[in-house]
Structure 1
Amino acid sequence: MPPLSRRRALASGLSALLAGVAGCNSVPTNGDGSDDPPAERTGSDSGDGGEENGTGTRAGTDGGPNLNDARVAAEPVASGFVSPVDFFAPDGTDRRFVVDQPGVVYEVTADGRRDAPYLDIRDRVVDIDGYDERGLLGVAPHPEFADDGRLYVRYSAPRREGTPQSYSHTFVLSEFTVDPDARTVGGGRERTLLELPEPQSNHNAGSVGFGPDGLLYVGTGDGGGGGDRGTGHVSDWYDAVEGGNGQDVTENLLGSILRIDVDSEGESRPYGIPDDNPLVGREGRDEQYAWGFRNPWRFSFDIRSSDDWDLYVADVGQSAYEEVSVVERGGNYGWNVREGTHCYGTDECPTTTPDGDPLVDPVIEYPHSGDGPTGISVIGGYVVRDEALAGTDLAGAYLFADWQSNGRLFAADPDSESTPWPIAEVPITGDDAPGSFVTAFGREGEDLFVLSTGARGLNDRMGRLHRLVAP
């Protein structure tokens, strides 16, 4: 097979999701061209306008979700967080943890949040205050954490060597080795794996997680600002819209999902590169797994077996549409040529790159305004499997949210015959529901959790963790 050109990256064997791509159809800003809430910022059966977005109507007669009747309740588990942005429960342990954006990991017990932090790296994280998208943004325990105590931590550091003075900060991915049985480990032992210069303070993504293949997946935003343009945003193949990093695969690793092997090392890297990453041996950066993202705030794996699974990535939109994609190896998800299924910045746009590679449509899209479900910042969730949320009519649904939750979640049916999938609003019942702003979801076994804050951005410890249950 000849080497792929700069824009050509589809490995053989991509699913019919890519083969079927066709058709291409812009919240107040923060003064820098961005439109995201803090780090929390990170889908309709109509491809040509949010006003036609439908509500799910599947009756559930074939065992699928009945989205018309779906309801959930939320039980308080812990409170006292500043801005809880991630949750993890390591395999082989009975422990669960919440990641707080200023730079602290807290253990959560049956009695709530422990007062003393488990991991505290505030001395390494850039100072944040008020409205900010930087901070400690994601933590993933190694699959063998119970034995080896390895945590993979994604945070925003002050500018390090190699980051220009005109840039905001440095993206850091580190391996921390800690005592998996201790109640508190201080700052742990850190080994830096990856540093990326970040031009602006926003669009930092933050998700890190191990797939069923044992490899570490890492989300990166497009470098911030607005429209994937300006300082720190390289030029790409699409001249109609200036910028950007989302369509670049050679100059930097921004606007992408990366995949690396933390159990090996390369000749020039403290991690290994999987042989089947799509750009290995071709033009482009070897860490790249998929690209064309703006701000992939949260992702999750729907694992049916070791060789049958999907990667769901929620990508925060610019100013008009939010989207969720089922991500394939070597897929190009369109930013900043498109926002969701719609042309960005122009009335007409291509559906492929100049090399003929498709720009992949999201499976979920919803607008910032109009009829039906709306919002301003998608928050990725999980597919409801096994006995999770029994009695809610959500079995088999992908459950997610918008940052402006307003007492509701969203659900979509992955078995829908139309794409983008119809979505339904799922009311959260009860008097002690999550706060006004949903920031992330978590999973432990069959339990699903939702994290929220009571205010826009950093707050006076109003953040909470809830378990989702049947009403």
Structure 2
Amino acid sequence: MRHFLSRLPLPWLVLLLACCLALLAACGGGHHHPAPGATTGNLTVTLGGLPAGVAGAVTVTGPASYSKTLTASTTLTGLAPGAYAVGAASVTQGTGTLAPTPVTQQVQVTAGATASASVTYAAATPLALRLQEVASGLDAPLFLTAPPGDSRLFIVERAGRIRVVQNGSLLATPFLDISTLTTTSGERGLLSLAFHPQYASNGYFFIYYTSLAGDIVIERRQVSAGNANVADPLSALAILTIAHPTFSNHNGGLLSFGPDGYLYAGTGDGGSGGDPPGNAQNTNVLLGKLLRLDVNASNVAQPYAIPPGNPFASAGGRPEIWAYGLRNPWRYAFDMPALLLYIADVGQASWEEVDVRPVGQAGNNYGWNIMEGTQCYNSPSCNQTGLVLPVITYGHDAAGGCSITGGYVYRGAALPELAGQYLYSDYCSGWLKSFSYSNGTASAVTDWGIANVGNIVSFGQDAQNELYVLSGTGKVYRIARK
């Protein structure tokens, strides 16, 4: 054979070798076929359209609980054969948003081969917001919430009633009516409610109101056995009463369960102006504080227990206190995914503020009445040692600010561009603003151009984490895409 090949002319020899190579390729030498003995495959994910310095947000999931987050183009190797889902999320670039295409796709990975997927980012249409009316004809609505996993909306009316919106309709019969137990004098009334995290099984909810004498009252109630839209009128269990008889303002007002399962309550400093008794800085009184209570085994003999970790549980102050130095924390919010606590504390005469701290950080002193916002109160200088300063402030100026109305960090599904932003308003001006918070700093403050809806008294959040605005006109609005 070698003798035969050696006698062939060179052109014939080249032609013969080419034919042999073609024959080998036809017999399975191409790259489209699995390599002999291969048990895993590869997946190349290409991210296009991203400017320099901007990371993508792509998640690849597949067999055997495989999950990988990608921020740039890469090839994933050693993958088990099977179907892989490639999901892409929008990313921010400055004040704008880059949207991915496609948002989701599925790729089949085979042994010994490399599959491919591509995601292209492009500038998204800027988000614009509107307020969509969902309820009207209410008597001074102050708060909106819902039990976990429930499609209904529960709206607190200041005069002492809780109303239910079911399937888009406001039910005529109140869920609860305690109007004979409270008064709307000054800033008093029924101010909020919080559903127990296990409401679906135990039916417990908690209310925060001021008594006819002006004292702050926290009670546990229970839904009736025969009607999910009506509370049992005989189920009241007193949890805590805080004396507040002198002034009718600064009652605080919000109850909320934290990610730790404990009940939090924000109380005002006792009223008047400037906190004349110095309640907010006095850890031996419960006014001007954020309280944390264990109400998971409440009974008449022991309405609440002190959770481990409360800063004054053993000495130095009232054991119920979680944080202090607050003037009137009308509304605060837990951002569960980020484990952050946002407190919107109403200012005195010049400054409104939002404070942000880690959820598990106990004993914070938010500064009132040593400071108002970032400024020393009624003094050119003050000792700021150990005080938590706000991340956002705004003044009582030509813009019309007078009293901050705190909201929530958006974690719903309808407005993904808004994810992670904290929304807030002002009672007098009625604007809607937001900011992003990261590494101790607030950024990207945005005014959403909302106006002419009356005094904004509160925000609300439903079980799907969509947000609502409650107006002094008696209307409730969902924050929606324009």
Q: TM-score, normalised by structure 1?
A: 0.72
Structure 1 residue 200 and structure 2 residue 244: aligned?
Answer: no
Matched with 2:147 is 90
Matched with 2:350 is 320
Q: In structure 2, do the counterparts of structure 1 residues 265 and 93 end up closer, same or farther at CA, with 3 Å as the change threshold? A: closer
Structure 1 residue 435 and structure 2 residue 435: aligned?
Answer: no
Q: In structure 2, do the counterparts of structure 1 residues 194 and 260 end up closer, same or farther at CA, with 3 Å as the change threshold? A: same
Q: In structure 2, do the counterparts of structure 1 residues 81 and 282 end up closer, same or farther at CA, with 3 Å as the change threshold? A: same
Matched with 1:118 is 175
Look up the SS of the partner of 1:147 in the other structure.
helix
For the residues of structure 2 that align with 1:278 and 1:440, how far apart are their CA atoms?
Answer: 30
The partner residue of 2:184 within 122, 128, 131 is 128
Structure 1 residue 270 and structure 2 residue 294: aligned?
Answer: no
Q: In structure 2, do the counterparts of structure 1 residues 420 and 340 end up closer, same or farther at CA, with 3 Å as the change threshold? A: farther
For the residues of structure 1 that align with 2:369 and 2:150, how far apart are their CA atoms?
Answer: 42
The AA in structure 1 aligned to 2:160 is: G
CA contact (8 A) 1:379 1:439 kept: yes
The AA in structure 2 aligned to 1:324 is: V
The AA in structure 2 aligned to 1:384 is: Y
For the residues of structure 2 that align with 1:59 and 1:425, how far apart are their CA atoms?
Answer: 12
The AA in structure 1 aligned to 2:209 is: Y
Where structure 2 has 5 or more consecutive residues not aligned to the other structure, the ranges are 1-92, 100-122
Structure 1 residue 187: Cα displacement = 3.1
Structure 1 residue 155 and structure 2 residue 209: aligned?
Answer: yes
Matched with 1:331 is 364
Structure 1 residue 88: Cα displacement = 1.2
Pairs within 5 Å for 1:4-153: 58-60=94-96, 71-125=128-182, 127-128=183-184, 132-153=186-207
The partner residue of 1:380 within 393, 406, 409 is 406
Structure 1 residue 469 and structure 2 residue 480: aligned?
Answer: yes
Structure 1 residue 185 and structure 2 residue 185: aligned?
Answer: no
For the residues of structure 2 that align with 1:209 and 1:109, how far apart are their CA atoms?
Answer: 22
Matched with 2:73 is none
For the residues of structure 2 that align with 1:434 and 1:150, how far apart are their CA atoms?
Answer: 37
For the residues of structure 1 that align with 2:444 and 2:423, how far apart are their CA atoms?
Answer: 12
CA contact (8 A) 1:441 1:450 kept: yes
For the residues of structure 2 that align with 1:255 and 1:310, how far apart are their CA atoms?
Answer: 20
Q: In structure 2, do the counterparts of structure 1 residues 364 and 69 end up closer, same or farther at CA, with 3 Å as the change threshold? A: farther
Matched with 1:31 is none
Matched with 2:27 is none
CA contact (8 A) 1:266 1:272 kept: no
The AA in structure 2 aligned to 1:155 is: Y
Structure 1 residue 62: Cα displacement = 8.4
CA contact (8 A) 1:79 1:112 kept: no
CA contact (8 A) 1:332 1:360 kept: yes
Matched with 2:447 is 425
Look up the SS of the partner of 1:413 in the other structure.
strand
For the residues of structure 2 that align with 1:443 and 1:295, how far apart are their CA atoms?
Answer: 21
Matched with 2:260 is 213
Structure 1 residue 375: Cα displacement = 1.1
The partner residue of 1:394 within 410, 418, 433 is 418
The AA in structure 1 aligned to 2:422 is: Y
CA contact (8 A) 1:403 1:437 kept: yes
4+ residue segments displaced more than 6 Å: none
Look up the SS of the partner of 1:173 in the other structure.
strand
For the residues of structure 1 that align with 2:324 and 2:149, how far apart are their CA atoms?
Answer: 33
When you count helix as a share of all residues, which structure comes out higher? 2
Deviations 1:223-242 (A, max 9, x none): 0000000xxx2xxxxxxxxx
Deviations 1:426-463 (A, max 9, x none): 113xxxx7731111111121421111112xxxxxxxx1
Structure 1 residue 419: Cα displacement = 4.3
State the percentage of identical aligned residues: 39
Structure 1 residue 453 and structure 2 residue 472: aligned?
Answer: yes
Matched with 1:247 is 281
Matched with 2:47 is none
Structure 1 residue 384: Cα displacement = 1.6
Structure 1 residue 268: Cα displacement = 7.4
Count of aligned positions: 361
CA contact (8 A) 1:434 1:452 kept: no
Structure 1 residue 111: Cα displacement = 3.6
CA contact (8 A) 1:216 1:262 kept: yes
For the residues of structure 2 that align with 1:227 and 1:299, how far apart are their CA atoms?
Answer: 21
The AA in structure 2 aligned to 1:470 is: R
The AA in structure 1 aligned to 2:479 is: L
Where structure 1 has 5 or more consecutive residues not aligned to the other structure, the ranges are 1-56, 160-168, 234-243, 353-357, 455-462
For the residues of structure 2 that align with 1:70 and 1:375, how far apart are their CA atoms?
Answer: 25
For the residues of structure 1 that align with 2:442 and 2:243, how far apart are their CA atoms?
Answer: 34
CA RMSD of aligned residues (A): 2.5
The AA in structure 2 aligned to 1:334 is: G
For the residues of structure 1 that align with 2:166 and 2:184, how far apart are their CA atoms?
Answer: 27
Structure 1 residue 183: Cα displacement = 2.7
CA contact (8 A) 2:195 2:206 kept: yes
For the residues of structure 1 that align with 2:387 and 2:376, how far apart are their CA atoms?
Answer: 11
For the residues of structure 2 that align with 1:189 and 1:447, how far apart are their CA atoms?
Answer: 30
Look up the SS of the partner of 2:306 in the other structure.
coil
The partner residue of 2:319 within 283, 286, 290 is 286
CA contact (8 A) 1:119 1:188 kept: no
Structure 1 residue 93: Cα displacement = 2.8
Greater relative contact order, per chain length (Cα 8 Å cut-off, separation 6+): 1
The AA in structure 1 aligned to 2:436 is: D
Structure 1 residue 94: Cα displacement = 2.6
For the residues of structure 2 that align with 1:404 and 1:173, how far apart are their CA atoms?
Answer: 29
For the residues of structure 2 that align with 1:267 and 1:283, how far apart are their CA atoms?
Answer: 27
Deviations 1:214-253 (A, max 9, x none): 1000000000000000xxx2xxxxxxxxxx1111101x10
Structure 1 residue 409 and structure 2 residue 435: aligned?
Answer: no
The AA in structure 2 aligned to 1:345 is: N
CA contact (8 A) 2:435 2:444 kept: yes
CA contact (8 A) 2:151 2:166 kept: no
CA contact (8 A) 2:411 2:466 kept: no
